[in-house]
Structure 1
Amino acid sequence: MIARSRLARLVDSRAELALVRSRFNFMTVVMLLVIGALALRLALLQLDDHEQYVARADDNRVSLRALAPNRGLILDRQGRVLAENRPAYRLVIVPERTADLDTTLARVADLVAVSADERERFQLQKQRSRPFESITLKSNLTEEQVARLAIHRHRIEGIDIEPYLTRHYPHGELFAHLVGYVGRLDTRDRERLEADRYRATTHVGKTGIERQYEGRLHGHAGFERVETNASGRVLRVLERTDPRPGEDLRLNIDLDVQRAAYEALAEFAGAVVVLHVQTGEVLALVSKPGFDPNLFVHGIGHGAYNDLLTDFHQPLFNRVLAGGYEPGSTVKPFIALAGLQTGEISPETTVFSGGTFRLPNHRRVYRDWKDGGHGRVDLELALAESVNVYFYRLAVDLGIDRISRELALFGFGRATGLDLPGEISGILPTRSWKRATFGQPWFPGETVITGIGQGFTVVTPIQLAHATAALAGRGQTAPPALVDRREPVQMVRHDEAWWQAIHEGLEAVVHGARGTARAIGPELLVNMAGKTGTAQVFTRPEELEGFEEREQEDLPEFLRNHALFTGFAPADEPRLVVTVVAEHGGGGASVAAPIAASVLNAALEAGL
């Protein structure tokens, strides 16, 4: 029994050992198969998919970082700087390097003034940045602020002072409306600009030349391929392509003439434009008052911006491009040309001015600006003395349709195409325009006052200057341009005799014995041809209709007429056009003409 029992146990042991061996062999085979499969997969990864996974690893480890280009300079025609990139310093904070950010901010505020707007921008930027990234708290530090922060830097965690280039406008408000300014990129800017060119850019042109020529001034971004850790911190630079700086832009503007025009306006708000007749080059373009464009570069505060918006004189308003004024008597040469070309008048045609004019079967009286009138005058005297009655009668004879056609030839009622944003088209009234605008027919009395530049007609200073250039060039001039030159265009074709007659009449305005602007004649370096005018600020009683200058001193300043003058010189070989609008100046002859004389002399002295 014992033997059988031992034998049975031995058989069981052998059976169990065989089972274990078979299971072990099975597991070995399975493991070998798994290992083989893994080895095969590894081989496939190493050989067939190697490039793909290396690229993925590089994407996680290597990134592209954009480099901002230096913005191009803006220069005047002589190469003098109007907008530059000036070295400056900014205070930055790295959040991860400070244990208590609020304490750091408080200590900084004890050393330099930090405005509420700067704090707000800092907090917004902090939300969009990583903890190890520098965040600007205050830009454009003064030398005193830099020194103060440097002395106390050791006891304030997380701060640093970084050098950078900032846009600077050395002439301040003198070129505010012309050059414009740059400001921080916003959502609307990003929508209209090429994303690749602006990845590292913080500022973009907002107004003026800075906006108009953004594409040429900005340049092209460079890049760096950098190795980063898992948090995105840069470990080293692997490759670098330098940015390509923006183009330096040379304007047609002359700094000396621009300054002379700004100063000549003195206490008056207004506009001055100086053009070259043949080339269309804009030599001066002044809108006054201006503002300091440097305030906008780093973000103007709410209070300061509100002060500009609520200023009675509207310093942010570009009067040259967007200021709409009645042309007043400056339109008379164009009305006269229409009369000559249509045969309604000749240079010898005379009209008697007794001081008043009436339409047949109408009670309303249209008055001349001179009590008792001017007597009998021909075309030259009518222009020289700005005789309203002469042009009342001529306007009625022509009719509004022929007047509008003639004015349209000279560019009234449409933008000149000047290379600046924001130009309006003005108003050239016609029968169809009035019906579309007011739902009313055109009345004869409206034709009468159109003849002296009152009523619905609205021009901008740049329009009036461009039209005067065409008049000076006997129908030919180039479109106005601030950058480069444009080809001359024959805008209007009239008989040479008619051009000559108008030129002689306009020269008599300045140098004739009875010309309205004869007072400036002796001051001029060359003979000038021009026309004075006034633009009504408010609708006056009928008994004062046509009165351009008298009674103005009795009115509050804000109700006085705007004073206008437009002219060209030298009178015999026109080269320069000067157009002036002095708001609430009262009279073109007494205020605008002397300003024009001063500006013209400055241009001549500058060799233009």
Structure 2
Amino acid sequence: MEKQKKNKSHFPIRLNILFFSVFFLFSVLILRLGFVQIVYGENFKRDLARKEDITISSPVPRGRILDRDYRIIVDNVPKSAISYTNEGFSQEVMLETAEKLAKLISKKTNKVTERDKRDFWIMTNPERANAKISKKEMDLYYAKKLTDNDIYKYKLERITTDELKELTKEKLEVIALFKEFNSGYKFTTQIIKNEDVTAQELAVVSENLQSLPGVDTTTDWERCYAFNGTLKSVLGKVTKSDEGLPAEQLEYFLARDYSRNDRVGKSQLEWQYENVLHGYKSKIKNVTDKTGNVIENHPVSNGKKGKDLVLSIDMDLQRKIDRIIEEELWAAKRYPGTYLTDRAYVVLMNPKTGEVLAMSGKKIVRNNQTGRVEMEDDALGTFTTTYNVGSTVKGATILTGYKTGAIAPGTVFDDAGLKIRATPLKKSYAYLGRLNEINALKLSSNVYMFHTAIRIGKGHYEYDQPLNISSKAFDSIRDSFASFGLGTRTGIDLPNEQSGFKGQSYLPGYLLDLVIGQYDTYSAMQLAQYVSTIANGGYRMQPHVAKQMLEPKEGTRELGHVVKEITPTVLNTIDMKSNWLYRVKLGFKKVMQERGGTAYKFFGNAPYSPAGKTGTAEAFYDGPERYRFGKEPPPVMNLSLVSYAPSSNPEIAMAVIVPWAYQGKKDNRANLKIGRRVLDTYFQMKKDNHS
């Protein structure tokens, strides 16, 4: 019994201790929660309301573009600039900032529209603007029969001319600034002024930055060209600071972490190598409160200049070829029948690597402002325009004949003209006798090519009878031509390359035109790739103008190390026997080095052993003057030339096209004159550089 009493007396004590412990712990917890809520509550509430945004600031220069000898072609010129970043400011704050900034700097107002003026007048004259709305209109508004837009429209329309005249020059500058402030995206820095920013403007703005929220001073840049207009159409353009991302490519660039107002390459090399030339802007993390005000910012990464792009182009050679084309075009214009002559193109390529050493195009145009006739750069036309080129394609015709079994080495045809029923006599420029394929190339026999085409098409020729040829022959020949680069894109590392026009009719007579280059159209770049394929032994090399990418050296103009080297790319190998290529190359050599060859008079004494093929094509004019001639522009003659040298171990391949070179029978030989001077220049420069 005593034992039970003893146990019972201990139980309440333990229970009390337990209750007391629980009470004590809850008290501590409550005190702690109270302390946290009272002391740190506001901080925690602010932390919960925070959000993070990334803003991109301090535009970095694009990478430079250099030629193969590391001479700068395109560079950046630094410019003092004034920028603005909308950090979530209200309209009132932005207007107040614009008014203050307008007193410190001058701002062009040419982009201020009539609507901008009316909007601004309403904003700054709210009572007068409201007075323009009648009581009846307001009753309709309250009755929800008029909308806010309707009321605002009435206000806009009722602003008088005299009221708009109240907007002084100073007010117009405020409007211009306010308009730009509003056009920017939140937390994105935009350039407000980078033209003619004076040292005084820069200093006074810097001194007043505390009272100009969002405004800052910075350094912007613009592209400059060391060689003026040389190759400028191929170099391309960059968007201006007030353009930003091109609308048609907006999603593409935004997906790659660009800001909407970033300056980007918008054409040709600047566009093609945007990912190389575009640097990395510095990134800053902005921490904002729930109202959008920035309360902290932290640097995330430093900016980095774009990589330098080294081209395969030799700018000295390029400029000299430009000058040759200009001189020969003007000289050709002195011949009769050259009213339509207005352009010429030259491509020089390393046949073994595909490196483009020069791509020159010149076009005669009339300046709309001065009315004067001028010569402008059209290097772009070397791969974006195509023409009938004539007999330069005959090397591909012979090789196609070999490949299809239509002819064999040494096959002989008589050069007598072909009379096909209901078709004019198809012949060479003169009767050339009985010829094998080598001499057919040397003398440029059309008839030899006609017989080859007929055999490719499984046809049979009889005098004044219909010519039955399989339509599949067109595809067979075109596929073979494409293996050399004719009638297909060459793969050059530039946008908007054209493959050319393919004749639509499959009538047998057009097959004969196809094999002498008078049906489908080709570009100068295609001709250069084609002749390079023959010169190098059958490898179709991808032409390229980019040679290297260099890492920039920060804080210096010195060249950085090579981060990427563009290596030669073989697009395909032509399925030809070495003996076949040898015979075509022998024919090409005879064209230029053997008496009677179509280019012998111009190249017979050339010391660098050239080989090649001339071309003349009757074509229809479709240039800028075509509307002067009604529905049927007159036929004109296109001139072309392909060549490589030395013939035994080619190091340079060349293509020349002079579209619409002449009308009538007076051949000005502009293709041969240009070609000889270009190759002379190349080998002379090589000699000078090695001496």
TM-score scaled by structure 1?
Answer: 0.72
Query: Does 2:432 align with 1:358?
Result: no
Distance 1:525 1:121 in 2: 66
Aligned AA for 1:579?
A
Q: Offset at 1:568?
A: 1.1
What amino acid is aligned across from residue 299 of structure 2 in structure 1? E
- 2:580 aligned residue: 498
Q: Does the 8 Å contact 1:517/1:532 carry over to 2?
A: yes
Does 2:330 correspond to 1:274? no
Of residues 57, 66, 73 in structure 1, which corresponds to 2:64?
73
Match of 2:182? Answer: 127
Taking the aligned partners of 2:573 and 2:355, their CA distance within structure 1 comes to: 17
Mean Cα displacement is larger for which, 411-420 or 567-576? Answer: 411-420
The match for 1:375 among 433, 444, 448 is: 433
Task: Please say if residues 464 and 579 of structure 1, whose CA atoms lie closer than 8 Å, have aligned partners that are also in contact.
Answer: yes
Aligned residues: 520
Shift of 1:558: 8.5
State the match for 2:75 in structure 1: 84
Greater Cα shift, 92-101 or 71-80: 92-101
Cα gap change, 1:453/1:165 in structure 2, threshold over 3 Å: closer, same or farther? same
**1:591 matched to 2:667:** no
User: Within 5 Å, which residues of 2 pair with 1:456-495?
Assistant: 457-483=520-546, 484-488=566-570, 490-495=572-577
Aligned counterparts of 2:685 and 2:568: Cα–Cα separation in 1: 22
One of 432, 442, 452 as aligned partner of 1:394: 452
Q: Which has the higher helix share?
A: 1
Would you say the 8 A contact 2:78–2:222 is kept in 1? Answer: yes
Change (3 A) 1:252 1:134: closer
The aligned amino acid for 2:528 is A
Paired AA for residue 69 in structure 1: V
Q: Provide the C-alpha distance between the structure 2 equivalents of 1:498 and 1:249, rounded to a whole number of angstroms.
A: 40
CA distance in structure 2 between the partners assigned to 1:211 and 1:166 by the alignment = 16
Instruction: Answer yes or no: is 1:204 the counterpart of 2:272.
Output: no
The answer to whether residue 682 in structure 2 is matched with residue 603 in structure 1 is yes
- Which of 258, 276, 281 aligns to 1:216? It is 276
Residue 509 (structure 1) aligns with: 591
Question: How far apart are the structure 1 equivalents of 2:447 and 2:394?
Answer: 11
Deviations 1:219-271 (A, max 9, x none): 22321345789997879864352112221111111112221222222135232
Change in 2 beyond 3 A, CA 1:59/1:518: same
2:484–2:540 CA contact under 8 A, matched in 1: no
Calculate the TM-score normalised by the size of structure 2: 0.64
CA deviation map 1:332-384 (0-9, x unaligned) = 11111122334433453333335x3312x4442124334xx233333233212
Gaps spanning 5+ residues in structure 1: where? 1-35, 292-303, 435-439, 541-555
- Structure 2 distance, partners of 1:411, 1:92, is 50
Say if 1:133 and 1:508 are closer, same or farther in 2 by CA, change over 3 A: closer
Residue equivalent to 1:7 = none
| Structure 2 partner of 1:25 | none
Q: Aligned residue for 1:420? A: 494
How far apart, CA to CA, are the structure 2 residues paired with 1:132 and 1:499? 64
Deviates more, 1:461-470 or 1:583-592: 583-592
Query: Are residues 57 and 363 of structure 1, via their aligned partners in 2, closer, same or farther at CA, if it must alter by over 3 Å?
Result: closer
1:102-130 deviation line (CA, Å, top 9, x unaligned): 9999x766xxx968899998675243259
Q: In 2, Cα distance between the equivalents of 1:55 and 1:151?
A: 38
Cα distance in 2 between the residues matched to 1:386 and 1:122: 68
Q: Which residue of 1 aligns with 2:47?
A: 55
- Supply the AA of the counterpart residue of 2:418: F
State how 1:310-349 maps to structure 2 within 5 Å.
Answer: 318-349=380-411
Q: Report the more deviating stretch, 389-398 or 79-88.
A: 389-398
Structure 1 residues 344 and 79: CA distance shift in structure 2, 3 A: same
- The Cα of 1:201 is off from its aligned counterpart by 5.5
8 A Cα contact 1:357 1:365, kept in partner: yes
Residue 286 of structure 1 corresponds to: 360
Q: What is the identity, as a one-letter code, of the residue corresponding to 2:680? A: N
1:454 equivalent to 2:512? Answer no
Which residue matches 2:644? 568
Code of the residue aligned with 2:529 in structure 1: it is H
Aligned to 2:299: 239
- Residue 613 of structure 2: SS of its match in structure 1? strand
% identical aligned pairs: 24
C-alpha distance in structure 2 between counterparts of 1:480 and 1:448, whole Å: 30
Superposition deviation, residue 180 in structure 1: 0.9
Structure 2: gaps of 5 or more residues: 1-27, 85-93, 114-171, 330-341, 458-472, 547-565, 623-631
Q: 1:207 to 1:379 in 2, by over 3 A?
A: same
CA distance change for structure 1 residues 140 and 383 in 2, over 3 Å: closer, same or farther?
Answer: farther
Instruction: Decide which of 210, 218, 233 is 1:177's aligned counterpart.
Output: 233
Q: Distance in 2 between matches of 1:290 and 1:205?
A: 27
**In structure 2, what is the Cα distance between the partners aligned to 1:516 and 1:124?**
67
| Structure 1 pair 244–194 and aligned structure 2 pair: CA distance change class (3 A) | farther
Partner letter of residue 164 of structure 1? D
CA distance in 2, matches of 1:458, 1:128: 47
The one-letter code matched in structure 1 to 2:354 is G
Give me the whole-angstrom Cα distance separating, in 2, the residues matched to 1:574 and 1:588: 29
- Quote the Cα distance in structure 2 between the aligned partners of 1:534 and 1:478: 26
Q: Aligned equivalents of 1:357 and 1:225: distance in 2?
A: 79
Write the distance in 2 (CA, Å) between the matches of 1:50 and 1:235.
15
Pair 363,428 (structure 1): closer, same or farther in 2 beyond 3 Å: closer
Say if 1:44 and 1:162 are closer, same or farther in 2 by CA, change over 3 A.
closer
Aligned partners of 2:185, 2:581: CA distance in 1, in Å? 71
- Structure 1 residues 221 and 196, CA gap change in structure 2 (3 angstroms): farther
| Whole-Å separation in 2 of the counterparts to 1:404 and 1:227 | 63
Letter in 1 for 2:224: H
Secondary structure at 2:391 match in 1: helix
